[in-house]
Amino acid sequence: MKGVVVDNRLLNDKYGLMCIESPEFVKNANPGQFLMIKTQLHNYLYDPLLRRPLGICDVNLKRGTFSLLYMIVGKGTKLLSNIAKEAVISFSEPLGTPFNLTADKKIAVIGGGVGIAPMLFLTKTLYENNSVDVYYGGAEEKDILLTHVFEKYSNNMKISTNDGSVGKKGFVTDLVENIDSYDKVYACGPKPMLKAAFELVKDIDEIDFEVSLEERMACGVGACLGCIIYIIDEKTEKIKQVRCCAEGPVFDGKQIVWDTVCKEQL
C-alpha cells in the first residue's frame, strides 16, 4: 500500500510522530494492529533492506489518515524521521491480531515508553462505551508524550517516570491501586513492565488481561519465524511456540510464559 505523508515532526530528540493519508488503510485498521513500513523512499536503495514494524497510534476516519509514533533508535527510524511532508511512502496493510474490545466495563490501560503508541487508538475506541483509566510510565520526561490526547479520552490518568522528572517517581505498575476494581487490563510496553502488570492480575480470575508484545519482526507475516514467543495452550495446557506477528501481537497475558519472554532482560 502507499500513502501521502501529511505531517512528520519530531516531538523531541527521541521520538517522532508521522501522519499518513490512506483511506483504504484506515477503514481496515483496528486497535492493536501494526504495519511494516518502508523507511527509504527510493527503490534503488537497499539499506536498510527490511521494513520496520510500527503500531498504529491513531486513525481519523473522516480525514482518512492514521498516525505512527516512533522512537529513533537506528538507521531505519532515523530515515523515517527525515521524510518530508507530501512524500509518498510504502507500507503494508494492517497486520496482526487486534485487541478484543469490550463495553460497559471498568478498564485500566497501562503503557510504557514507545509502547504507549497503540494504546492511544485503543483508549479512544474504548472511551466511547467504557470507564477508562490510563497509567502511563517512562524512564524520563522525554518518554511522556501526547498526554493532552490521553487526558481527553480517559476518566483518570496517572503518570510516572523512573527519574521522577514527570509525575510520580517509580514504575508505572506502582501507580495502579485497587486492581480488583477493574474488569479488564490492557498493557503494552517493555517486557519487565508487562510482567509486573501480569503479577498484579494473575491471581484474579475475574480480570481479563490483554497485552501487546514488542518483538523484533523481519517480515511481519509469520514467514521468517523471527519473533517466536512461548504461551500455554488453553486446550492441552502445554507450552507452545507462536509467532508474535501472526498470532499476535496481542495475546491473553495470562497465557504467556513470562520467564521466557523476559529472559533477555532479566
Q: What is the pLDDT of residue 256?
A: 95
Residue 219 assigned as binding residue: yes
Q: Going by C-beta distance under 8 Å and a sequence separation of 6 or more, which residues neighbour residue 61?
A: 26, 27
| Model confidence band, residue 39 (pLDDT cutoffs 50, 70, 90) | confident
Q: Is the pTM of this model over 0.85?
A: yes
Residue 244 assigned as binding residue: no
CATH number at residue 31: 2.40.30.10
**Which structural domain, as residue segments, surrounds residue 29?**
2-90
Beta-carbon neighbour count of residue 93 at 10 Å? Answer: 13
| Model confidence band, residue 12 (pLDDT cutoffs 50, 70, 90) | very high
Amino acid, res. 17: L
Question: Is residue 225 assigned to a domain?
Answer: no
> CB of 119 within 8 A of CB of 144?
no
Asked if 60 and 125 sit in the same domain, the reply is no
Q: Is the pLDDT of residue 27 over 80?
A: yes
Question: Is residue 224 assigned to a domain?
Answer: no
Asked if 75 and 129 sit in the same domain, the reply is no
18 exposed, middle or buried (CB, 10 Å; 0-12, 13-18, 19+)? buried
Residue 245 assigned as binding residue: yes
> CB of 156 within 8 A of CB of 123?
no
Q: What is the pLDDT of residue 46?
A: 62
Q: What is the pLDDT of residue 260?
A: 75
Q: What is the pLDDT of residue 40?
A: 77
Residue 253 assigned as binding residue: no
Q: What is the pLDDT of residue 266?
A: 42
User: What mean pLDDT, rounded, does the chain reach?
Assistant: 92
> CB of 20 within 8 A of CB of 89?
yes
Question: Is residue 120 assigned to a domain?
Answer: yes
Residues 119-146: tens digit of each pLDDT: 999 999 999 999 999 999 999 999 999 9
Question: Is residue 262 assigned to a domain?
Answer: no
Question: Domain tally for the chain?
Answer: 2
Question: Is residue 159 assigned to a domain?
Answer: yes
- The angle at the Cα of 256, spanning 254 to 258, to the nearest 5 degrees, equals 105
Asked if 77 and 140 sit in the same domain, the reply is no
Q: What is the pLDDT of residue 51?
A: 84
Q: How far apart are CA 122 and CA 39, in angstroms?
A: 25
At which of 27, 61, 90 does a domain end? 90
CATH number at residue 178: 3.40.50.80
Tell which residue, 229, 235, 236, has the closest CA to residue 253.
Answer: 229
Q: What is the mean pLDDT of residues 160-174?
A: 95
Question: Is residue 259 assigned to a domain?
Answer: no
Residue 224 assigned as binding residue: yes
Residue 262 assigned as binding residue: no
Q: What is the mean pLDDT of residues 229-247?
A: 90
Amino acid, res. 222: G
Question: Is residue 77 assigned to a domain?
Answer: yes
